[in-house]
Chain A
């Protein structure tokens, strides 16, 4: 073995020393790495595992099916329809997005503005995000897309759900509509469903009032996503709870009849069951198509709805507050009987003087001798001026409030107005002037400060007809829960008072000279009772009085008086109460009375018990009473 030379020996010694030193350093650094691993994986491992799971797992909400709205017989007024739609996934469009849109444009209609929106959406999103091209396709269009799918790279057909209102305008004010979630909606509602881009919530009507019940609970799908947010696969999925169905007291067929009968008028109508307060029909015309709001309303359509002077978006049956006019008189008559004025006799000369004010009866030449019965029948203002003068405002207010006026009825619909019944205290607080007796007289015939909604007026009719403090309701079941049936309290009026007023109301329609006699129900057993009313829209000046009041027909539409009528039928055993208010509709032919007549008749005829007998057997040739009524 050759020896190292001396110099190499010292080199080797130095090399070995320093190598060992470096080895020690390397060992220490490896120890540092091991320590770092220990900290990351053992000490903080759980925390990092959570972070990795957060990275990996994304929760997607599955919207539950919204509860349906059904009428009293189970007819669907709002349900969920399949929404056939087509989406485009940019990265799968092998020939490019433009080419894909050209191709789909040959299969379904794709207007230029829609095409621009699609291109915009694609530019805004990642390449794997499906962008809707067209929604709510017909089955034929959808089938065409499916058939041509091999030639449409990147195009995917999808079936979603959308709200559908089969009766369109006819039930718009009852059912309401759903529409996109607005930032305001999210303020007081932290339901995560609201963040879904295509989610719709109830904005009006039953859809709004029972939104929480119909919404249901969202299902959750846990999906694995990659760093770019692309879904790799589903890990688990929890189905949500479907929304509850809402069953209304509305009779869809009657409602549709009412809608048809009101026609093009700006009008409201409510039909109630006099036995329990069920609202059978509640209409405000014109209506609107609730489907528009669901699929997205255009600016022109929205502008049209907003500027229409017939106010189609307003539910006049609940939110329209009108002076009741003469329809207020029966309420005053009830109070009159119970306050010792049952035998009041008034000689109507066409005008009443109080101090230096002259109060005119609607009939210039006067009604002559008038008692309570005739006062209601011919709607004599002079008689009710005297009733009001004798009762005083406090008793009038008490009676009106007992009958449910001046306060919201509490019906399960949003936006209800309470109307208005004036009082001494209110006058003082509002104007700082004491109540004047002249005002008592004016309010006694339903003018002045008094305001009622058509719904309140219908409740008034039902209360007079039944003698019970009926409360209107529009739902009878939500999900599996049957709504409690309210037990109506007794009204603080005597039976004698009810009998006298009902007789008067019957005379209005059924005795010659009554204000509605010309438009009475003539079919035996179906007769109605009722009360007409006219609500002044403008003040009639003294000059006009001298020159003779202009006929309503000769005025512009928006200056004409409102026409009101409430009625109930059948007259001897009331079952249905009905109110029709036509805005600016006070003309000689009393269309509101005709409408009420037809509606009450139709409602009675729909009642199976009251169905007229088919093939009526004539008394002479009667063989047997098998079909007897």
Chain B
């Protein structure tokens, strides 16, 4: 639905035109999902806006404006800032190692003036940006050349390594998945992919031995046999399954979930918020929410495929895959499919940095959509 094809293709649309170009259907979906989040935060606080729902609304409002602004910025500008954004995020990750403070046994937070920041969140966006930019310049043939491949691998390994030593296993996994899937989409040869997957499978026992922290091992052990420690580490999984399962077909009804209200659920306002949703809205509600997520992802995929530049395509897919990995890992872990790794539910879980990062990502996705007709030469450095 391009109103002015030439202007669109050359990136010279006015602000008003761009606003018109924004995929407002996607914006509506995002807002609906965020509202589900507000309702859940209101519910887990025992039917109260404070302490979570009210703050989350403010963050969403800020994130919403950020998303629109990001959407209006020319896609070539994002190409230009991709590397600087990556470097800044990397520096922040190093800073958190040096000066960060701990939350729940992991060093994840840094204080910048009045702001509390989790640098791993912007890094997810910055990594996607930087990889998209780098891969934009490579042909399908180039990407499988070892020297060309080494650079994106280092780009992935650096932040993943820094996040892993925080330690934050969940985000590390997401960064690795983001990077790997972008390399895959950029056309990495199957001759690289197959041996890597095989090596990774072989590395699991070694990682168990030398890399994983005790608390991470405990989580895996507890996952494999939750009843072994029903009152200790298995408590979280057991109670989360009870919450989701007790929702049944139609759920107990809004504000009627007992598991979260009576504090049987851990981290009920952040990582485990899905369990409260499952308890109160049941199978019907969960499937409906999954369909909403699915539609958003579908929009993202469609946006990626309609873009004219490789940068935009990879950027859109990177953003939407990141979103998908969040949802997948979060729901799978709270429903006992995979071990507990600290991953929040995007748009729904309470958390400022994550909310802003997700909204920024959707802004980039919208920007790809708005500027989908813009062609970017392979060796362009953008327009800054």
Contact = CB atoms under 8 A, between A and B. Distances in A.
B378 A45 contact: no
A306 interface: no
B125 interface: no
Interface string B351-384: 0000000000000000000000001001000000
Contacts of A7: 139-140, 378
B262 A40 contact: no
A120 interface: no
Contacts of B305: 15-16, 19
Interface stretch (A47-55, A108-116, A504-512): A47-55
A19 B249 contact: no
B89 interface: no
Contacts of A23: 298, 301
Contacts of B336: 36
A11 B137 CA distance: 11
A41 B244 contact: yes
B244 to A, nearest CB: 5
A41 B140 contact: no
Given A11-B310, A48-B245, A49-B246, A55 B264 contact: yes
B306 to A, nearest CB: 11
Given A8-B378, A33-B335, A42 B139 contact: no
Contacts of B186: 11, 15
A197 interface: no
Contacts of A147: none
Interface stretch (A159-167, A220-228, A430-438): A220-228
Contacts of B239: 55
Contact of B262 (A19, A29, A224): A224
A10 B139 CA distance: 9
Interface in A134-192: none
Contacts of B310: 8, 11-12, 15
A226 B244 CA distance: 17
Given A34-B287, A37-B286, A232-B262, A22 B321 contact: yes
Interface in B293-334: 293-294, 297-298, 301, 304-305, 308, 310, 313-314, 317, 321, 324, 328, 331-332
A100 to B, nearest CB: 26
A45 B247 contact: yes
B245 A44 contact: yes
A225 B259 CA distance: 11
Contacts of B313: 12, 15
Contacts of B187: 11, 14-15, 18
A232 B286 CA distance: 28
Given A18-B184, A33-B332, A56 B262 contact: yes
A56 B258 contact: yes
B242 A55 contact: yes
Nearest to B297: A26
Interface residues of A, number: 46
Interface in A207-260: 224-228, 232
A48 B283 CA distance: 13
A32 B259 CA distance: 25
A45 B328 contact: no
A29 B328 contact: yes
Interface in B174-193: 181, 184-187
B331 A45 contact: no
Which of A10, A11, A18, A47 has the most chain B CB atoms closer than 10 A to its own CB? A11
B283 A42 contact: yes
Nearest to A14: B187
B248 interface: yes
Nearest to B284: A41
Contact of A45 (B245, B259, B324): B245
Given A1-B9, A22-B181, A52-B242, A42 B248 contact: yes
A199 interface: no
Contacts of B290: 30, 33-34, 37
A2 interface: yes
B122 interface: no
Nearest to A26: B324
B193 to A, nearest CB: 11
A180 B81 CA distance: 78
A525 interface: no
A553 B131 CA distance: 116
B262 A38 contact: no
A46 interface: yes
Interface in B85-127: none
Interface in B268-286: 278-279, 282-283, 286
Interface string B229-265: 0000000000101111111110000000011011110
A629 B114 CA distance: 106
B150 interface: no
B211 interface: no
Contact of A52 (B259, B293, B308): B259
A229 to B, nearest CB: 10
B246 A51 contact: yes
Contact of A40 (B184, B244, B258, B332): B244
B61 interface: no
B258 A52 contact: yes
Contact of A33 (B5, B247, B328): B328
Nearest to B243: A52
Contacts of A10: 139-140
A2 B9 contact: yes
Interface string A484-517: 0000000000000000000000000000000000
Closest 6 CB pairs of A and B: A48-B245, A52-B246, A226-B262, A45-B248, A227-B263, A41-B283
Interface of B: 5, 9, 139-140, 181, 184-187, 239, 241-249, 258-259, 261-264, 278-279, 282-283, 286-287, 290, 293-294, 297-298, 301, 304-305, 308, 310, 313-314, 317, 321, 324, 328, 331-332, 335-337, 375, 378
Given A1-B9, A37-B278, A55-B259, 7 more contacts: A4-B308, A19-B185, A19-B301, A32-B332, A33-B328, A41-B282, A232-B262
25 contacts: A2-B375, A7-B139, A11-B187, A15-B186, A15-B310, A18-B184, A18-B187, A19-B185, A22-B317, A23-B301, A32-B337, A33-B290, A33-B332, A36-B336, A41-B248, A41-B278, A45-B246, A45-B248, A48-B245, A48-B246, A53-B246, A55-B264, A224-B262, A228-B263, A232-B262
